[in-house]
Structures are given as structure tokens and as C-alpha cells.
Amino acid sequence: MDIIIENPTELHTLTNRRARRGVERVTLVIPGAEEEALRRTERAINRGLHACGCETGAVFLVAGAVLLAGRALLDPNQMEWASPPTWWGAGLVLFTATLLGKMVGLVWAEWQFRAAINRFPEVTDSEH
């Protein structure tokens, strides 16, 4: 569902996750506000609506793989590559890194989303 926001009070309701359930796109229509600032805020809000943490999860996955490869290269005798515990351990490290990255990405996206909403009054006050 697309929604049109016409004042800061309407927008602040989106800080509640339940209130934004089903919202696909937000359009800001504020009479007298600077158009460029509105579009910038609108882009940040819409980006936050669809954030899932996947990019950060992927970065953490790659970082975990690099760390595992680095450990194997620095001390190859310590790693028994043929043993199942080594593979399970490596898989657990990569899974944990990815999950941690996804959680960090979600928290970061939520913070950016709320920051965009909190900047909203500045967009409207700059013209008045």
C-alpha cells in the first residue's frame, strides 16, 4: 500500500512497526517545504521500509570466510580439513557471522529509518 504523508504527526506514526506493516511506499506532500529536501527524506524512508539486512549479512559472511581462510593459511597443521568437526565448525562460524551481520544490518536500517523521520521537521521548518 502506498501512503501520502502530509504532516510530521502522520509520519511519526510509522516509527511503530505495526503501523508500517503493509506500507510499500511513502510519498511526502508538504505544502511550502523544499522539494529537494522532501525527496531526499522520502528516499531514505522508502529505503528503510524495505531494508532486510542482507547486504550487511553478506559482508559479514565474506569477512568470516576470509578469517577462516587466513587461519588455515597461517597455521595449516592445526586445521584437519578432512574431519567433519572442522567442516561443522567452519559452517557454524559462517552461519553465526551471517546471522550477526543480518541483525546488525536490521538495527542499522531501523536507526537510519528513524533518523530520517526525526529529520522531517527540519525539512518543513527550513522554509518557514
Hey, what amino acid is at 58? A
CB 123 within 8 A of CB 38: yes
pLDDT reported for residue 127: 44
Q: Which residues of 57-83 are buried (b: 16+ CB within 10 A; e: fewer)?
A: beebbeebeeebeeeeeeeeeebeeee
Q: Give the SS3 label for residue 79.
A: coil
Based on its alpha-carbon atoms, the radius of gyration of the chain, rounded to whole angstroms, reads: 22
Please list the pLDDT of the chain residue by residue as tens digits (128 residues).
888 888 878 888 888 888 888 888 989 887 777 888 888 888 988 998 888 899 999 999 999 999 988 888 887 776 676 677 778 888 999 999 999 999 999 999 999 988 888 876 655 554 44
pTM of the model: 0.76
Residues 6+ away with beta carbon under 8 Å from 24: 1, 2, 49
C-alpha cell at 24: 510499500
